[in-house]
Structure 1
């Protein structure tokens, strides 16, 4: 069932691409000040149909078929070709749009009742193209330059170039970069107050390269630094306290925790340190008090806690026998790991059990 175009002219303008501004930069449509991201205004009469063209009323004469996404003339019941315009009760232009065989074509405009430009979009035979934009309303009494809300660019339906998004006060909310309809390059996101929140590198729509987050402070202190590959964290990573002091040094491999991890107190003293293997804690993990004295020593085998030794506030073991038992288990683990590596096994005290369990699962699946 077709809908009155009054309801869907915002499908061409809000959804026929999401209200955006267009303009090749070579026509009279290009009324923006790129440096200030504001609309400089123009004579609205230039946006009216030229002599000889007979427009229809966008709100009363046209209908939109959501099934085939075409616009029809309500009287002829045929896909509409031509211009449509509509006006606010105060006589100001509300919108102007062109269609060819029921599809959006050329530049369409939408205005606020105050007369301020609202949206500016371009289609070529129904396909998004060119630079689109959307502006905030100044109101009927304010004739100063308008603030752009966002500006986006398409190349025959594909997102390209740098896309900017702004708050009404002019602060940037995000900057995205596209190539061939995919995020590609450094994208930046900002806090409500305009301070940078994070910088993310993309390659073909996946995070790839530096990933940096920031604290919301005047110094723009770095919060975390990572590297991504194919949408997964990979390689060394660091995090920091808001003071700038190092908080952690970690490592990843294809998205899994791998290698040495060290966490610090803000005073620089190590809080805990140990190793991950295949995303699981493995081997000795040492925890320290802020004074630097031992707090806990734990032994893990492929994520399983084997033994933990607790220390008092002076850094002395609360139970000496626990420390002896931990060292015995550690020596056995090292021996088993070495033996399993020679055999090409999983290693660890439970490596053999894990391997047998996997073989058992495979047998069950075959049955």
Structure 2
């Protein structure tokens, strides 16, 4: 009985506090705290002088987790999880000292993978694979120090190659097909999202 009351109080507090753009955190001890982002872009518990270390959890009105983030000395650190309202995973981001570092994945509401890429201290580095809703690869590319490098391929939903371009240091080397405009738009959209 008391657990249900505690949960209802937590949800009510979350709703009221979010109206004023504050975030509630839940520690391992299930105490509720408010945190804020200050001018230095670090996260602090309200009233605290030291930057926050711990988890921040936000909930949807239906009680399901919206976001679960981990902070160390006020900076995002390790794996951050974002969920759709139905509880399915929406996005996984990995951070190190406040910068994207490691695995980054986005999922369609169906649960299928939409995008996977790697980061190295905030810069795209390694593979980027974007998928169609049916699971077929839509785009495959590689980055080195934030620049396109190697073969970049674009595919239709039937897994047929539409375009293939070679890149070195972000510059195309091979002949470019008629679809290059659309291709560049897609690559730039991905960069803007991230």
Answer whether TM exceeds 0.5 for this pair: yes
Q: Give deviations 1:89-126, integer Å, cap 9, x for gaps.
A: xxxxxxxxxxxxxxxxxxxxxxxxxxx6799xxxxxxx
Structure 1 contact 250–260 (Cα < 8 Å) conserved: yes
How big is the shift at 1:167?
Answer: 1.4
How big is the shift at 1:190?
Answer: 2.1
Residues in 1 aligned to 2:179 and 2:84: alpha-carbon distance in whole angstroms:
41
Q: 1:215 to 1:297 in 2, by over 3 A?
A: closer
2:59 is aligned to: 166
How big is the shift at 1:211?
Answer: 0.4
Residues in 2 aligned to 1:193 and 1:118: alpha-carbon distance in whole angstroms:
17
Q: Given the two structures, how large is their TM-score scaled by the length of structure 1?
A: 0.38
How big is the shift at 1:237?
Answer: 1.5
Residues in 1 aligned to 2:127 and 2:59: alpha-carbon distance in whole angstroms:
34
CA radius of gyration, larger in: 1
Residues in 1 aligned to 2:63 and 2:7: alpha-carbon distance in whole angstroms:
15
Q: What RMSD in Å do the two structures reach over aligned CA positions?
A: 2.9
Q: In the alignment, is residue 191 of structure 1 matched against residue 94 of structure 2?
A: no
Q: 1:243 to 1:117 in 2, by over 3 A?
A: closer
- Structure 1: tracts of 5 or more residues without a match: 1-31, 42-115, 120-133, 138-148, 288-295, 299-367
2:126 is aligned to: 235
Residues in 1 aligned to 2:7 and 2:130: alpha-carbon distance in whole angstroms:
45
Q: In the alignment, is residue 39 of structure 1 matched against residue 6 of structure 2?
A: yes
Equivalent of 1:205 in 76, 87, 98: 98
2:71 is aligned to: 178
Q: In the alignment, is residue 150 of structure 1 matched against residue 41 of structure 2?
A: no
1:61 is aligned to: none
| Residues matched between the structures, number | 154
- Structure 2: tracts of 5 or more residues without a match: 17-22, 28-44, 181-194
Structure 2 contact 163–179 (Cα < 8 Å) conserved: no
1:68-147 matches, within 5 Å, as 134-136=13-15
Residues in 2 aligned to 1:228 and 1:297: alpha-carbon distance in whole angstroms:
27
